Each structure stands twice: as C-alpha cells, then as structure tokens.
Amino acid sequence: MTPERRIAKERNIMDTWLKSLITDTPQEGFELAITLARKGVAYTQPSAEIREKLRPVYSENADSLTAASQVVATHFQTVAAANNYWR
C-alpha cells in the first residue's frame, strides 16, 4: 500500500461510501456527480490542509473551473446512464 493510500485509509477517506449510482431524480444524480468529483479530489490529495492551501489558486482560475465542470459533467453522464436517463 502506498503511503498516500495508507494516510487516506487512516483518515477514513477510503471507506466504502458509494453504494449505488441509482438516484430518484436527475437533481439527485447531479448532486451525486458533484460528490464523485469532490471525492476524487480527496482521494488524489488526502491532505485537507494542502487542499485548503490550493483552493485560492484554482477558485479564481477560469481554466481550472472549466476543468472541474467537465469532471462533474463526465460523472453526471455516468450516473444518468446508470439510471437509464430517469425514464
């Protein structure tokens, strides 16, 4: 196990939390997509302190915000497909 995974596991970041991609509504699906994106960042950088330090850099950068939106959109596509597009 890498040191990063060990630290994340110690901080309970890697606990099983995603039970299903199925949601009742598209709104819930979109919120799940946002959660997936946020969890991805937490898995990638398990240090909350470092994430807080970096936030001012990307929060005012249009390219970073666009990239974050693209990640959420990709996750939403996945959730929507899993939910048969709520048909």
47-57 mean pLDDT: 95
Averaged pLDDT score across all residues of the chain: 91
pTM: 0.80
Instruction: Give the pLDDT confidence score for residue 12 in this predicted structure.
Output: 62
Tokens encoding 85: 């597009």
What are the respective helix, strand and coil percentages of the chain, to the nearest 5?
Answer: 70, 0, 30
Q: What's the domain count of the chain?
A: 1
pLDDT confidence band for 9 (50 / 70 / 90): low
More confident residue, 20 or 4: 20
The Cα 62–Cα 15 span in angstroms is 32
Q: Which of 46, 9, 30 is nearest to 85 (CA)?
A: 30
Residue ranges making up the domain that contains 70: 3-86
